[in-house]
Structure formats: structure tokens, C-alpha cells
Amino acid sequence: MNQSPTLDQIRNFEGKYPKQLWYLFATEMWERFCFYGMRGMLTVFMVTQLGLNDRTANLQYGAIQAFVYAFTFIGGVFADKILGFQKSLFWGALLMILGGLVIAFAPNELFYIGTCFTIIGTGFFKPNISTMVGQLYHDTDSRRDAGFSLFYAGINLGALLGGIIMVYVGKYYSWSLAFGLVSVVMTVSLITFAFTRKTLGPIGLSPLHIDMPRSRRKFYEIATYVGSLLVVPIILLLVTNTDYTDMFMYIIGPVTLVYLGYEMRKFSAAQNKKVLAALFFIFFSILFWAFFEQSGGSLSLFALNNLHGTLLGVPMDPNAVNNSANSLFVIIFAALLGLLWVWLSKRKLEPNSVVKFGLGFLLLAAAFYVFYATIFFADADGVTSLEIFTFGYFIITFGELCLSPIGLSLMTKLAPQPIQGLMMGMWFLASAYGQYVAGLLGAGMSSADPAATNIAKLHAYTDGYLQLGIYALIAGVVMIAISPFVKKLMGNIH
């Protein structure tokens, strides 16, 4: 029987990547297949099958996605305090499998109930696998960013496959089968982790004190499992009533900051400065995701109604392009951008993480100007160029690569060890606020009139994209301007 490796044996690996990274890569890839496949289907399903108008569908999309990411914060806290990362991941995967089965059984009738299980499951799964990636490395290991870039490629490989396959299956074959794929693919993810978890050694095991009686340990674990099931009716109420969603989002952020302040009492001044630096990144990421996540809301409906069905002369479903173009570009260019950072670093020209965030916003601004510019290529029916739309995604990809994988890595660098799950959860909670605001912004651009013409929709959405481009430009300039101050808080972290 193989012995589990020690933490030092894992971290003192030779080469560029530890072998455990590949196992976590595969586990996360299949989970992201489900997540991005579901995300790409949400607004299309709600408009075409549930009969919602565009405005309501955008609000519902924002609410569902906000709760998905909000629960990553809660899942991170329970992993830090009770379950550990490995058991959290197992429980999350099981709930996601159950959620897919529930929706597949009766998509129209059980959509929201199944979605509640998916929300809780993702909350236990997503932040904890990212934290385990960070723990494969010593604190000063310069290979950590490269590891997160590879891990990010796994995320996008899953997103590419899910974004194409699930929307095609749903739109052209069967929505039940599309949602059922979630359960099938998550089962593959869970089996992958089950057969490789031993290689992680002590990483992600229960944080409960070794001297705690076994019966009490079991009680805490079972209480966590039961409690997460008991909140399903509450989440159902919150998701289906966007007024309650507003109330939840107003409360969860301030409560989180108060709890973080309580935890910060235990750390040194230098550690707390790094936590404050992490909060700067978290705040700006809210703005970034509010704009970027139009991809699952307003851009998804824009693709449904306002884009030609050919790309460079090849017949192509616009929603499949909307769901997968970004992921494809990430897979192609992530490694090349990583090599560019290395090349600049050797010449002492690499921008620091704060400036990279600012560049991410400037590229985001350029992308939304391109989305706006599609109006100049529209025909009399309000249908416009899929090629120009895809070019917008090409630009937005580089903005994402300047921000998202670097943000994941920074959370594991800046957070003290006892609150790494909490800080990773807060990073994803920022995404929750981004998703929530994305839904509000998308609803603001949308017409509540189901009889609105394509021309009217085209003008409403493109005018909105121009405004978002201006806001992203301002945010990027501000981020670059304050970079010296934030860099000072980060201490020795680049």
C-alpha cells in the first residue's frame, strides 16, 4: 500500500509542476465543464423555455450566479474550520450531481430546485480546490504563478467543452439531456479526485484539533452536511425572488468584512497589511466581473437575437460562440502571455500585480467598445456580425488573463495560512457581487417588452456596452494610479 507523501515531499518537487497539480487540473476541468455549460444555458433556457422576458432573465441570471459565488465564501469558511478542503470537495461534487439529476428529471418544473443544490455544491467545491493548488508550493516558490496558469488552462478547457456541448444539446436535442450531462461529468470529476487524493498527503485534511474526540468531530461534520441541505428552501426563496436577493447581497458583504476583521486580530501588522492589499484586489475584481459577466447574461441574449449564424463563412451557433470563444482564446494564449511575463521579468520590466490588474481593465474597456461597434455592421433587421463580436472576446480574453489567474495566486500568497480558505472564499464572493451587478446592468440594458424588435434590442445593448467601456477605462486608470500604495502594502509579494 502506497504511503501518503509528507508536505515537504510534495513541495520539494523537481521540474515546473508538481504531479498533484495535474490531478487537481483534471478534477477542476470537469467541474468547470458543468459550471460554464450551465452558465451558458441559463438565460437562453429561461427565455425560450420558462417564458421570461429579457429583463427578468437577466435579473434571474444575476441572482443565481451571485448565490453560486456567495456560497463559495461559506464553503471556504466551513472547510477552514470543520471539513477540510478534501471532504468539502467531495460533498460539493455529490450535491452538484444531485442538482443535475433533479433538473434533468423535469427541467421546466424543477429548474430552480435543482439549481439550489448546484449553488450549495459549487460553494463547497470551488474555493477549496483552488486553495489546495496554492498549498502545493512553498510560500517563496516562484513556480506558483506558473502552476495557477496551468490550473487556469484546465478551467478553460472544461469551460470550452461545456460551453459548446451543453448549449448545442439543450437547444437542438433535449434540455433534460443537457442538464443530465452535469451529473455524468461531475461523477467523472469525483472519481478522478477519489483515485488521486492520497497523493495530496496532509493537504486539505480536517483542520479540527487532533485531540478532539472522534464523536465530536463526526458531529461537527454531519451537522455541516445536514445544515447545508436544510438551507435549500431558503435559497429557493432567495433565488426566485430578486427582492430577497438584493437583501442578501446587502447583508453578506458587510458581515464578511466584520468577520474578517475579527480574524485579523490574530495576525501581525505585516500580515494584516497584506490582507488589506488582498481587499483592494477583491474590490476591483467586483467591478471587473460585473462587466465581464455580461457574457452569461446580456451578451448571451444579444447572441440569441442579434448575431448572424456564420463565422468566417462557416455555419455557427452564435450562443455556442458566446459560450466558448473566451475559453478557446485562453487555452491558446494563456501560456504565451505567461512566457511574456517571464521574458519581461528577466529584463526587470515585468509590471507588478496591481498594474496587471489595471491593464486588465483597459483591455476590458477596449473589448466593450468592440461589442458596441457591432452596431455599425448591423443589417435592417438588427442582426450584426458574429466576426466582430468574436473579436471582442479575443480582446477581453487578455484582460481576463491579466486579472483572474493572478488574483487566484495572490489570494494564496497574501492570506495568512489559517484564513486561506476564507480569503479564497472572499475572492469568489467578489465574483458573486460582480455577477449580481452584472444582472442589474444587463436588466438595465434590456427591454421588458417581449415584443421589442431586434433593432430596439440592438440599440439598447450596444449603448449599454459603450457605457461599460467608459467605466472600465476609468477603473483601469485609477488602479494603475494607486499601484505604488497597494504595492507597499503587499511587502515582499510581487
Residues paired with 314 in a beta bridge: 311
Cell output for 405: 489567474
The more confidently predicted of residues 57 and 142 is 57
pLDDT of residue 1: 43
- pLDDT digits 0-9 by tens, 384-428: 999 999 999 999 999 998 887 777 778 878 888 777 777 877 887
Banded model confidence at residue 180, pLDDT cuts 50, 70, 90: very high
Banded model confidence at residue 447, pLDDT cuts 50, 70, 90: low
Find cell 497574501 and name the residue.
414
- Average pLDDT, integer, range 112-129: 87
Of 122-131, 246-255, 285-294, 360-369, the poorest mean pLDDT is in 122-131
Ramachandran category for residue 53: left, alpha or beta (phi over 0 → left; psi -120 to 50 → alpha): beta
Phi then psi dihedrals of residue 311, to 5 deg: -125, 115
Phi then psi dihedrals of residue 310, to 5 deg: -135, 145
The yes-or-no verdict on residue 365 having pLDDT over 60 is yes
Q: Are 137 and 144 in contact (CB under 8 A)?
A: yes
Neighbouring C-beta atoms of residue 309, cutoff 10 Å: 12
Length of the chain: 494
Report the distance separating Cα 287 and Cα 296, nearest Å: 16
Find cell 452558465 and name the residue.
39
Ramachandran category for residue 493: left, alpha or beta (phi over 0 → left; psi -120 to 50 → alpha): beta
Neighbouring C-beta atoms of residue 48, cutoff 10 Å: 15
The architecture that CATH gives domain 12-490 is Up-down Bundle (1.20)
- pLDDT digits 0-9 by tens, 198-226: 888 888 787 777 777 888 888 988 998 99
Cell output for 71: 456560497
Sign of the Cα torsion 438, 357, 334, 119 reads: negative
In angstroms, what CA-CA distances link 317 with 310, 417, 427, 484? Answer: 7, 46, 33, 45
Q: For the chain, how big is the Rg over CA atoms in Å? A: 22
Report the distance separating Cα 391 and Cα 211, nearest Å: 58
Of 192-196, 295-299, 488-492, the poorest mean pLDDT is in 488-492
Single pTM value for the model: 0.79
pLDDT of residue 494: 60
Banded model confidence at residue 449, pLDDT cuts 50, 70, 90: low
The yes-or-no verdict on residue 143 having pLDDT over 90 is no
Chain centroid offset of residue 71 CA: 12
Of 225-234, 297-306, 334-343, the poorest mean pLDDT is in 334-343
The yes-or-no verdict on residue 492 having pLDDT over 80 is no
pLDDT of residue 376: 94
- Average pLDDT, integer, range 361-372: 96
Mean pLDDT of the chain: 85
In three state form, how does the secondary structure of 274-333 look? HHHHHHHHHHHHHHHHHHHHHHCCHHHHHHHHHECCEECCEECCHHHHHHHHHHHHHHHH
pLDDT of residue 191: 93
Q: Tell me which residue of 63, 58, 62, 53 sits closest to 448, measured CA to CA.
A: 53
Q: Tell me which residue of 372, 386, 237 sits closest to 306, measured CA to CA.
A: 386
Sign of the Cα torsion 236, 242, 244, 250 reads: positive
Banded model confidence at residue 431, pLDDT cuts 50, 70, 90: confident
The yes-or-no verdict on residue 491 having pLDDT over 80 is no
The yes-or-no verdict on residue 301 having pLDDT over 70 is yes
Report the distance separating Cα 11 and Cα 144, nearest Å: 11
Render 372-399 in DSSP notation, one character per residue: HHGGGG--TTS-B-HHHHHHHHHHHHHH
The yes-or-no verdict on residue 448 having pLDDT over 60 is no
pLDDT of residue 127: 67
For the chain, what are the domain ranges? 12-490
Of all residues in the chain, the percent with pLDDT exceeding 90 is 24
Report the distance separating Cα 415 and Cα 446, nearest Å: 40
Chain centroid offset of residue 468 CA: 20
Phi then psi dihedrals of residue 492, to 5 deg: -90, 5
Cell output for 138: 512553498
For the stretch 1-5, contacts whose Cβ atoms lie closer than 8 Å and that sit 24 or more positions apart, written own/partner, are 2/198, 4/198, 4/199, 4/200, 4/201, 4/202, 5/199, 5/201
The yes-or-no verdict on residue 315 having pLDDT over 80 is yes
Of all residues in the chain, the percent with pLDDT exceeding 70 is 98
Residues paired with 315 in a beta bridge: 310
Question: Residues with Cβ < 8 Å from 362, sequence gap 6 or more?
Answer: 399, 472, 473, 476, 477
